[in-house]
Amino acid sequence: MGTVRMILIVKGRRLQAATIGFFEAIIYIVALGWVVNSLDEPFNILVYALGFAAGNYVGIYLEEKLALGHVCVQVIPSLKSQPIVEQLRKDGYGVTVIEAVGKNGPKNILKCIRRKKKFKKDVKVTGTSGSKSIYCYYGCQKNTRWLLQTSKG
């Protein structure tokens, strides 16, 4: 719960984060009270620690499945960038192409804002050009929404 709550805080979703925080606090107080009242039982401490670890694991898993928000994707294709640009634009997305110079000569850097759920498709598109593209992505704040595609979603 804490993992998902922190992600919601970063995304600016106050009400959802506060609601999860409320229930998280109740669970924490009850569970910690149970452990503190029986410190002579190592099994209870072990169960609490396992529950905490499992909560982190499940929280990360849920965040990956929910894929909340948007990501800014930056791609540096090792070969031709035009097929990637054409495919993304065909899908209705804006792509900014920045000319750069790499170790082996001129390159293009492609930038695109996508919904996080669509990010895996981006990775597949970059692989369709027969190149080994380098890509990085980072979270975008909600004030970048105006840059998103207008025709498809």
Q: Are 73 and 111 in contact (CB under 8 A)?
A: yes
Q: Amino acid identity of 121?
A: K
pLDDT for the residue 99: 92
* 53 and 75 belong to one structural domain: no
pTM: 0.56
- The answer to whether position 56 is within a domain reads yes
Q: What is the pLDDT of residues 83-136, one digit of tens each?
A: 888 888 887 878 899 999 988 888 899 888 877 777 766 566 555 445 577 878
d(CA 148, CA 144): 8
- Looking at the structure of the chain, the number of domains it has is 2
Specify the pLDDT at position 120: 65
- Picking from 39, 66, 93, the residue at the C-terminal end of a domain is 66
Boundary of a domain, candidates 45, 66, 87 = 66
Q: How many CB atoms lie within 10 A of CB 11?
A: 17
Q: What is the mean pLDDT of residues 6-19?
A: 87
